[in-house]
A and B are shown apart, each in its own frame.
Chain A
Amino acid sequence: MPKLASFQDLEDLRDRLRSRRDPDESGPPKIAVCAGTGCLALGARKVIDAFRKELDERGLTKKIELKETGCPGFCEKGPIVVVYPQGVHYIKVNPGDVPEILEETVLKKRLIDRLLYVDPATGARAVHEDEIPFYKHQTRILINNNIKINPKNIEDYIAQGGYSALTRALSGMTPQEVVEEVKRSGLRGRGGGGYPTGLKWDATRKASGSPKYVIVNCDEGDPGAFMDRALMEGNPHSVLEGLVIGAYATGSAEGFIYVRAEYPLAVENARIAISQARELGLLGEDILGSGFNFDVRLHRGAGAFVSGESTALINALEGRVGEPKPKYVHTSERGLWNRPTLLNNVETWANIPLIINRGSSWFSSIGTEGSKGTKIFSLVGKVNNTGLVEVPMGMTLREIICDIGGGIPGGKRVKGVQTGGPSGGIIPQEHLDTPVDFDRLTGLGSMMGSGSIIVLDEDTCAVDLARYFVDFLCDESCGKCVPCREGLRQMRDILSEIVAGRGREEDLETLQEIAGLMRSASLCALGRTASNPVLSTIRHFEDEYEAHIRDRRCPALVCEQLISYFIRPDLCIACGLCRENCPQGAIYEGEGAEGESGAIMVIDQSKCSRCGICFHVCPPKVKAVERVSGKSSPSSAPKASIPSPRDAGKEGERR
């Protein structure tokens, strides 16, 4: 690719690309297959290979374009295939469906009903993306291009209007004007803190000292959040374009993209994006003939949750241990190598080209009073349609879960949602009508965080979940400051005792005391917010804590040491699956109860470790394994509770 030496060169290239690739509606047939990590996990690679083979065998490779695209967000129904120009949206595609899609839909323009999305509520089939409820209720301005472009090809991004915001900023705006535009937009940091982005930019711009640095934080460590991965994998140039604009606005010549090690595809696509942008002259010296110089380096994380914290990330970039530093001095004044540094999250950067292109007043018309624009949430957990959901700030949790998410599977009751990752909290179902924005979530004792919404149903134990988060943070605490390191350990010990049925009356008070101390005395945000999961569960689900502590009972039937399993003799068909899978060898074959014929499986309670594997492997049609908590196994247990030597011998033979 020849280097673009001027703004006009970029526009000429865009015109050429557009004339070659007609707009979606009228152009030649095109097959888009999602190649995001989610769809790949569900077998998209095999689907792509099958298309390639089929096109090759029919000699259609040149006529029909096969595109490996970014993630459109509906991961639950992957692999996703979209056929253009009609825009037919197929879900759960197998390699076996490929010849039929090619023959029927691509060539003969006919629909294949079984691959269409069926609305479980109405039974109606949806042909196009915008007819599917999951997409219909969203406002997709950041991730809408993911299914249209191949993230490994910069031309796709340019053909969709990419890098036009960069042209606008470099050719017609002063750096100060760019900063003012971002300020006016009301954009707040999408990484969790929600700090006004424009203020950060302004501070970095005004800070004395050079060189200055700009950084993309793609160390998305919040378990349950994957919007940054989807953007970095699916549309890396939108992030890169935002970064170049930010560098121009703050007067920086060097930038870094920090991607966590657990996202190999994001690393790969970011690397390709950087090298293609460099090749075209969108990075490097004298960008588009404007006289502005800027280049980017990619840095891979090495697996440390705390490194997502801005000062820790800067330490990691310097090649040191990714531990946070006290924030007496702002990163914008003294960050990377003690120079002024602007660090923003992936999604924040991706919003920048939109703001520059469409204007701050357009952006601030979306959202609520204090939180502008859209936010991408990862809607996961116990919900029917899981995936990435982009909605205007201010939509209620109930709308997100019910309208977009399609409700809770298995007709269960929603118990609450967990937002904000391990630093967030649990919001009980009575608050589901709260509009989601930075300030409302904080008011409920949770936080926006990076935007994970984990839906919990009645099978989730609030105490166990709090223990899970504390356990997680205990592993991830860097150990530098005492309140976080020791506080988490103490909380973990106490919570472990509670879930084991050894809780004490004073435990809740002790937990709250430790939490208060950690909140005021920890060095970084990890420690200061680490108590949120505990405090919010105590606040909203105190009765569950009391059931564990006073009655030694887990109402959600989750905490292993408070439940027991038994096999109902009236339902057991003695298929032996549970015995085969029991890691403790605690299941043996017994005789049915008086009057019942045939053998059944029996659990030896003294050997049982309550792992629940028998419960999960028992065939759904049989469902003979039952869980109980707070009471002893039913008296209907079979009479032959101790296997005789003869039985043991028989068991051996059968195996």
Chain B
Amino acid sequence: MTIDWTHFSPWSALAGGALIGLAASLLLLANGRVAGVSSIIGELLGPADGNRRWQASFLAGLILAPTLWAGLAPNGLPASDLVPTGPADWSVLIIGGLLVGFGTRLANGCTSGHGVCGLARLSPRSLIAVLVFMAAGFATVFLARHVLGN
């Protein structure tokens, strides 16, 4: 293993992470709700209940964030910061999306629900979920890049 020092950005990662933790804390403190993105989308797809309004509002915030960022940042927001490098591989995006959608509903959470909120409340279920999806992610990239070649 070699470390990619040229792209290593611990401070912006830490600051962005703190914003994510702040956002999740605000939602819990003020609304008593968990900022789990896959659960929010999944429940919006299901039968209507009293949570629809805040769930749709939270997603609207996520959707508007890049526009707000592009307005605030002096250099705007490079499109390359939000999409994969190189020409898009549509089959990979579609298969990946199907797996992420199905898997996060089956596991009841993703990087935000289990990775941030669950770990912040010291949930053993979330710890296991995080260890499993990280391991699966590491293994998948290893296979794709170093075994099957890519």
Do A and B make up one complex? no
Instruction: Identify the B interface with A (CB < 8 A).
Output: none
